[in-house]
Amino acid sequence: MDDKRSLNRRLASCNDPLIAAYTFGHRHGVKHLATITNTPEGVMYNKLNPENESNHLQLREAVFMTADTGDTSILEAWCLKAGGLFVPVPAGVACDEDLSEQLLALNEQLGKALATVKEARSDGVITHSEMEQIRFELQRMIGEVLKFDAVVSSQVRSIGNR
């Protein structure tokens, strides 16, 4: 993998909540985040800077920012750092179309994971950074499997005495 692509993938697969918060700020705009949390803009810049030692993002602020933007990247990074995986599952009862869509998403992610393995093995050696990317894609695939499970589970019905 070339260095620029590798860096972009590392940022996308970040397992450090501090770096995730930093990129979150760039994605959603520090000014907007400062406004919705009623925090001075300069202080919010500091809170989102992983190198800053004086201001720290509070959990309630991260929760509020996640709820406002719908962006779960900080939570996802925290879960990865703790050795887990954040998987948002569909709420309510899914229809047949939801089942089909989720099955397609699962297969699409499986394809990405396998392509990542194939690319990493192309030179005969899987490096540590390539393994990190493979693991990231496999974790995303596991997430799609769990979402598929939730969609299928939402369609379970009782029939008569069964």
- Does 107 lie in the same domain as 70? no
Same domain, 30 and 60: yes
Q: Which of 140, 88, 89 is nearest to 114 (CA)?
A: 140
What local confidence, expressed as pLDDT, does residue 143 receive? 86
The answer to whether position 91 is within a domain reads no
pLDDT at position 136, please?
A: 85
**Tokens at 24, concatenated:** 């979150």
Which has more pLDDT, 140 or 92?
A: 140
What is the per-residue pLDDT across 6-51, written as a single tens digit (0 to 9) for each?
444 444 456 789 999 999 999 999 999 999 999 999 999 999 999 9
Please state, rounded to an integer, the average pLDDT across all residues of the chain: 86
Asked if 14 and 64 sit in the same domain, the reply is yes
In a domain? residue 52: yes
Same domain, 12 and 45: yes
Give yes or no for a contact between 146 and 106, defined as CB atoms under 8 angstroms apart: no
127 and 57 inside one domain: no
Q: What residues make up the domain containing 132?
A: 96-153
Burial environment of residue 137 by CB neighbours within 10 A (0 to 12, 13 to 18, 19 or more):
buried
Distance (Å, whole) CA 52 – CA 22: 11
Number of domains present in the structure of the chain: 2
H helices, E strands: number in the chain: 8, 0
